[in-house]
Amino acid sequence: MSQVKRVLAMLYWLPAAVLLTDLYTVKQVSGRSMQPTLNPDSSLLWRDVGLFDRVSIYTQRYNRGDIVALKSPYDAKRELVKRIIAVEGDIVRTLAPNPEAEVRVPKNHIWVEGDAFHSQDSNTFGPVPLGLVDSRLVFLVWPIWRLGFPGLLRPNTHPRVSPTPTQ
């Protein structure tokens, strides 16, 4: 009887838990496109797990250098973890697969790239609408020896980006 009660209590508090995971959520990073910042072990024996923050996307507190999780423009079911290289108005000198040499990031879009070479990023699919961005990585929680802030303290600048003068 007490077990039934316990289950009922958990069910009762489920909505609050879901609400909480909609503000802050824990995700596992798979793939190697963010090496060496995330998943530095190439054999992928362990994968990094991070705490992702959705509030700062809602309040538009993100900047160049932040790591974000976003829905892939090519497949809505897949989620990518990339670094914001440029925000709206910036001019980016692109890399290999992109047909254009320079791109100005349109309004309400960002330019994302992986830290590693082999990465499917804005050089393939172009600037990404902000509506696809889900959350921002704030903290690494697993593995235990990597607990902490994962290479977030990157400078606000990038050698291939000329920022808008207003910012």
Partner 1 sequence: MPSRLFNRLQVFRSKPWSYQVKFLGFKTLQLANLLGALHLLSYVGTISPMSGPSMLPTLANEGEVVIENRWSHRWNPDSLRRGDLVTLRSPLDRTRIICKRVIGLPGDVICVDPTGQKAPSTEHVVVPRGHMWIIGDNAAYSRDSRDYGPVPMGLIQGRLFARIWPIREFTIFRNPTTYLDY
- Residues at the contact surface with partner 1, assessed by CB under 8 A: 12-20, 22, 70-77, 107-109, 128-133
Here the tokens at position 105 are 């990031």
Instruction: Name the catalytic one among 2, 82, 107, 162.
Output: 82
DSSP 8-state secondary structure symbol assigned to residue 132: G
Closest contact distance (angstroms) between CB of 106 and partner 1 is: 8
Closest contact distance (angstroms) between CB of 18 and partner 1 is: 6
Q: Which is nearer to partner 1, 71 or 160 (CB)?
A: 71
Helix (H) / strand (E) containing 77: strand 75-86
Yes or no: say if 140 and 48 are a contact pair by the CB < 8 Å rule: yes
DSSP 8-state secondary structure symbol assigned to residue 146: G
Is-catalytic flag, 33?
Answer: yes
Can you give the length of the chain in residues? Answer: 167
Rounded Cα distance between 38 and 99, Å, is 29
Is-catalytic flag, 56?
Answer: no
Closest contact distance (angstroms) between CB of 30 and partner 1 is: 18
**Catalytic site positions:** 33, 82
